[in-house]
Structure 1
Amino acid sequence: MSDSGQSPAPGVRRRWPREKEGDGSGDRRDAAEEPGAALPKTPIILAKPPAERQAKAAAGPAPPPPGPAPPIVLMKARGEEGRGGAGAGEGAAIAPPREREGPRPTQPVYQLHGRGLPPPGAMDPVAGQARLAAPEKMKSSIKLVDEQMNWCDSAIEFLLDQTDVLVVGVLGLQGTGKSTLMSLLAANQPEEDPRAFVFRPQSPELKERGGSQTCGIDFFITQERVVFLDTQPILSPSILDHLINNDRKLPPEYSLPHTYVEMQSLQIAAFLFTVCHVVLLVQDWFTDLGLYRFLQTAEMVKPSTPSPSHEPSGAAGPEEPSEYYPHLVFVQNRARPEAFCPRRLQQMHGVLDRLMAHSHLKYKGALSMLDCGLFPGLPEGFLPTEVNLFLLPPMEAEAEDAPPRTAPGGGPLFPLLPPYRGHGTFGTLLARLRGRVLAAARAQLSHTLLTERNWFHYAARIWDGVKKSSALAEYSRLLG
């Protein structure tokens, strides 16, 4: 029978010839049309009893199961946004291409939050602030060296890992106003109650007994990262009296109390000459020759600057490292009005220059009061050698002030101006001194740049070396 134009007989299936060998569409056959194909199975539905379904409905809907972990999302580069994926539907809308705004990254960007890593905003803000916050502001001084001349470690809590630090120390005899001056330079004002000063000054009762307030070395650091070191009075008679009257046991290397007091003073002075940028020598009268002999002795027993290498000094090379010496400032506290006379100033500078002629300390040319504009009428060559000398009038109300000048009619000549004293007020001169001290050059104390914390460890090592110094031990043996 011909195939043209005629339909097959009922019940007979027409088979079409295969046109392409490689096309798999011709091999598709319905399993139900095969002659030996099995009939589809009847589905079996499992259900709970009606009573159990009613109890479950009364209990309420079950909580939703926990969702799966967030997937890892692979984001395409911006340049591939217009391309259609292989699995995209035919009806999906294709976004128009954007204008090219510039070079775009070709690498894909991955979101790693699905792997359990916290996002940047999930960090604890309290912990982050604690890492970046500055140390707690100091309200009073603490001990760096106690009265038994032992090192204290409590100051390390207030120090940072930064190198811009200035260290200022003070030396002076008993009752010259060292603690008061250091408090005013650090954080306090003259009109405040002295009991609120960061370095506690002598109380009236202590002055009557002839005692000293500071024992050892006190430490204070300001928010401007300036370290102030207040020390006990050098060659103090009150400390000597305390040793004798209280029968305090001396260290075995010292046989006499006055030798022990002098050695304590030399240890403190040699320590300040090694770890400070500026050392203030406070006096309340001009001048004590024994004090300058003491400075020369302290400079002689000053420990040398540690070498940057562990090699012996002979193997380091022909250029040996230079020794470090701080700036020394002579502060004349409670100066009388006649001390501010230009001729008297010239005499004081000449005496100090001759006394310190053989010293390596930087005692001139950096922190003089003549550089502050307080004496504008003096000629340029008024002082052949300018020493670091600064005068301060008494802080208390001056009862010996000259009465204000009066006009011929009896009234004040300049009613709006304060009476002329021959010098500036205590607050004015103190502000000039503070500005000069804080502007001092912050030279390297050792051959390596020190942070605040490194300075603390360096100072602890220097103090231990001073206490074990062979030069000081030999000097003590000569005194005893």
Structure 2
Amino acid sequence: MSESGHSQPGLYGQVRRRRRRRGERDVGAPGQNLSGPSRDRDYQPRERRDGSEDPPGPLIQKTPIILAKPPGERSKPTQNAPVVGPSVLEKPIMLMKARDEGGKPGTPPEVAVQASGPGPTKMEREGQRPTQPVYQIQNRGMGGSGSSGAVDPMVGQSKLLPPDKMKHSIKLVDDQMNWCDSAMEYLRDQTDMLVVGVIGQQGSGKSTVMSLLSANTPEEDQRSYVFRAQTPEIKERGGNQTTGIDFFITQERVIFLDTQPILSPSILDHLINNDRKLPPEYNLPHTYVEMQSLQIAAFLFTVCHAVIVVQDWFTDINVFRFLQTAEMLKPSTPSASHDSTGSTGNDDGAEYYPHIVFLQNKSRREDFCPGNLKNMHMMVDKLMGHSHLKYKGTLSMLDCNVFPGLKQDYLTTEVNMFLLPVQESDGEDTLTKVGSGTYPLFSLLPGYRGHPSYSNMVSKFRSQILAMPRCQLSHTILTEKNWFHYAARIWDGVKKSSALSEYSRLLC
């Protein structure tokens, strides 16, 4: 027997006894010559199959790599992984942990969404912060970029983009008094909005005023206004530019509604000369024109926060009679049953009335005299004394520093009235005629007009309108889209109103 075979008899006996206790087959005998190679073949496999002893040093570090996948591979979804089910819920847990921490359960999914992108990109594996916004990750869902049901990131991003910016007005009600749905694509699901409507007689400047309040300045060309004003050709033949109701919404979420003129002679002339067929419930053209105007005014009194009454001279008694009639025929405020955003606690019997503002457009220099201004306020207050419309307390010319010498208590019966002067070209009042020529007089100083410039007055009026209180239009809080559906219901109710039908019958 070799020297190596006699050197470890005790060790071989221990191995045999251990193998007999496990019931293994005995190989060899103490007297056999177990050379180096055969002994290695006998001992090495036995020690690897025996789990009672841990492998030496290097194998301890390799054990986690053999038993678990690397963190980068664990975050990758498999090709055949289902999109729905428990695996979908585990996706944020895999994404929320760093590489060295693995994917421990119990961490909130919000941390996962903020800590990583929808999939393990190269930047995330290198430890860099993802540049993709969090709202895009939430919109793409929990399936990951590698799953078959994942949403395209561009589609998810487009759903959260703001609506397109309007460049011109569109129709809310056409010339046939039919409702249009084209304005829906410009509205959002948010409640912070202001709705401003306008009514006035033909040629008073309604469209120009609404354009200056919404998106344009007096220095721009009127042909680029969002609400088209009367062209010289239309003025020459005594026509009107706006028909029905035009819609425009600004990026500040202010909705402007421009309307056709009330009691318009050009619309009546168009009905008579073009032999347009009247609806069966109307017998005479002038009755149809008046009822159209009342329907529009009653509609604005129900869906607007503020209604601007534009006049180009002070004052027409027929305008105030028309306002009182429209208020009488205004439909009752219904509850927006389609909106589930919440109730406000208002009484069910409370009626809504908007703020009304009287705009004296194309005012003369004499109208800005404090005495004449006080007389106009007193007259409007007496004419609107029995009205439920909110015609005072929300707009003041004295707060605009237009009359710096007047005290706040000068107008004891101050109503919501504002004066806009005639739009004049710059430098028109700074020329004087001397002899046979015209020379500049006080060229460094503006000419006296009795009021600030037209642009300054428009800016002051715009700031007053945008600061109007945004009262609640119905018994529930309305978003922009819900307001659109609510306005459609009101318009349909106005056209089918029994009170308006009875009033139309009495006019015949």
TM bin, normalised by shorter chain, reads: 0.7 to 0.9
Select between 451-460 and 85-94 the one with higher mean Cα deviation: 85-94
Say if 1:305 and 1:446, in contact at 8 Å, map to a contact too: yes
Q: Does 1:113 align with 2:111?
A: no
Q: Does 1:92 align with 2:58?
A: yes
Say if 1:144 and 1:152, in contact at 8 Å, map to a contact too: yes
Say if 1:18 and 1:26, in contact at 8 Å, map to a contact too: no
Say if 2:20 and 2:26, in contact at 8 Å, map to a contact too: no
The aligned counterpart of 1:473 is 501
* Shift, 1:125, TM fit: 3.4
Alignment of 1:436-447 (within 5 A): 436-447=464-475
The aligned counterpart of 2:214 is 186
The aligned counterpart of 1:408 is none
Q: Which has the larger radius of gyration?
A: 1
Change (3 A) 1:254 1:469: same
CA distance in 1, matches of 2:441, 2:213: 35
Alignment of 1:189-338 (within 5 A): 189-307=217-335, 320-338=348-366
Say if 2:398 and 2:408, in contact at 8 Å, map to a contact too: no
Q: Does 1:28 align with 2:25?
A: yes
The aligned counterpart of 1:419 is 447
Once the two structures are aligned, what percentage of the paired residues are identical? 65
Change (3 A) 1:360 1:25: closer
Change (3 A) 1:395 1:20: same
Change (3 A) 1:431 1:248: same
Change (3 A) 1:126 1:26: closer
Q: Secondary structure in 2 aligned to 1:92? A: helix
Structure 2 unaligned spans of 5+: 7-11, 31-50, 62-70, 84-90, 92-116, 120-144, 146-150, 339-344, 433-438
Structure 2: which amino acid aligns with 1:114? P
2:379 to 351, 374, 377: 351
Say if 1:402 and 1:421, in contact at 8 Å, map to a contact too: no
Change (3 A) 1:173 1:87: farther
Deviations 1:128-177 (A, max 9, x none): 32011111111111110000100001100111111111111000000000
Deviations 1:214-247 (A, max 9, x none): 0100001111111110000000000000111111
Alignment of 1:61-210 (within 5 A): 89-92=55-58, 111=74, 113-115=76-78, 116=81, 120-121=118-119, 122=145, 124-210=152-238
Change (3 A) 1:21 1:403: closer
* Shift, 1:385, TM fit: 1.2
Change (3 A) 1:110 1:465: farther
CA distance in 2, matches of 1:188, 1:422: 25
Deviations 1:164-197 (A, max 9, x none): 1111100000000000111111111112111111
The aligned counterpart of 2:398 is 370
Aligned length: 394
Change (3 A) 1:373 1:32: farther
CA distance in 1, matches of 2:505, 2:208: 36
Structure 2: which amino acid aligns with 1:24? R
Say if 2:309 and 2:357, in contact at 8 Å, map to a contact too: yes
CA distance in 2, matches of 1:222, 1:233: 23
* Shift, 1:430, TM fit: 0.2
Deviations 1:409-454 (A, max 9, x none): xx99965331221100010000011111111111110011001100
CA distance in 2, matches of 1:376, 1:86: 99
Change (3 A) 1:27 1:250: closer
- Write 1 or 2 for the structure with the bigger share of helix: 2
Q: Secondary structure in 2 aligned to 1:150? A: coil
CA distance in 2, matches of 1:210, 1:394: 20
Q: Secondary structure in 1 aligned to 2:409? A: coil
CA distance in 1, matches of 2:74, 2:18: 48
* Shift, 1:320, TM fit: 4.1
Q: Secondary structure in 2 aligned to 1:302? A: coil
CA distance in 2, matches of 1:376, 1:153: 47
Change (3 A) 1:140 1:22: same
Change (3 A) 1:87 1:305: farther
Aligned-CA RMSD value: 3.4
Structure 2: which amino acid aligns with 1:461? R
* Shift, 1:22, TM fit: 9.0
Q: Secondary structure in 2 aligned to 1:357? A: coil
CA distance in 2, matches of 1:327, 1:127: 42
* Shift, 1:18, TM fit: 10
Q: Secondary structure in 2 aligned to 1:120? A: coil
Structure 2: which amino acid aligns with 1:245? N
* Shift, 1:306, TM fit: 0.8
TM-score by length of 1: 0.75
